[in-house]
Amino acid sequence: MRNETSRVLGCWSVVLWLDTWKKSLIYWAAAAAILLSPHTLWLTSVSGGLLIGLGVFHLLLLYKMKLEAKEALLEAKEDSYDRYEDEMDAEVAEGVNTAASCHDSTLKMLPRLSAALLADYAFFVSLTG
């Protein structure tokens, strides 16, 4: 059974909330605190610079992950159209070559086609006349 008021769950929800671009702000705030009131040791300036770099690299990582997610969605969309080519090729190979009979055979397959493919087919039919 899950306890929704648990302190551990509350702490974890804060960690998940901070696991985006907000983490870069925390790194930059820590770098600003270190750089505005530096210690006499020269390594404090280096650590401030490294924290700034860490914030920038974290933003670059988030941008890269966003681009990879878009590419994965595009690849999934291309795959969803590829699975119908085999069925249509098989019917054309059986001797269905005229436009009217191709149209009729496609109408038989309509229950199996997705909504996006139906929209593309309607657009194609409107273009061909």
Q: What is the mean pLDDT of the chain?
A: 75
Check whether residue 78 and residue 96 sit in a common domain: no
Confidence band, pLDDT 50/70/90 cuts, at residue 6: confident
Domain count, the chain: 2
CB 121 within 8 A of CB 113: yes
Check whether residue 74 and residue 90 sit in a common domain: no
63 or 88, higher pLDDT? 63
Residue 14 lies in a domain: no
| Residue 3: pLDDT over 90 | no
| Residue 99: pLDDT over 70 | no
Check whether residue 70 and residue 99 sit in a common domain: no
| Residue 117: pLDDT over 70 | no
How much is the pLDDT for 32?
93
Confidence band, pLDDT 50/70/90 cuts, at residue 88: low
Check whether residue 78 and residue 93 sit in a common domain: no
Query: Could you tell me the residue range of the domain that residue 37 belongs to?
Result: 20-82
How much is the pLDDT for 103?
63
pLDDT, tens digit (0-9, with 9 covering 90-100), for 18-65: 888 888 999 999 999 999 987 788 888 899 999 999 999 999 998 998
CA dist., res. 88 & res. 96, Å (int): 10
CA dist., res. 125 & res. 35, Å (int): 66
Mean of pLDDT values over 97-115: 59
CB 22 within 8 A of CB 58: no
97 or 58, higher pLDDT? 58
CA dist., res. 54 & res. 128, Å (int): 56
Check whether residue 129 and residue 90 sit in a common domain: yes
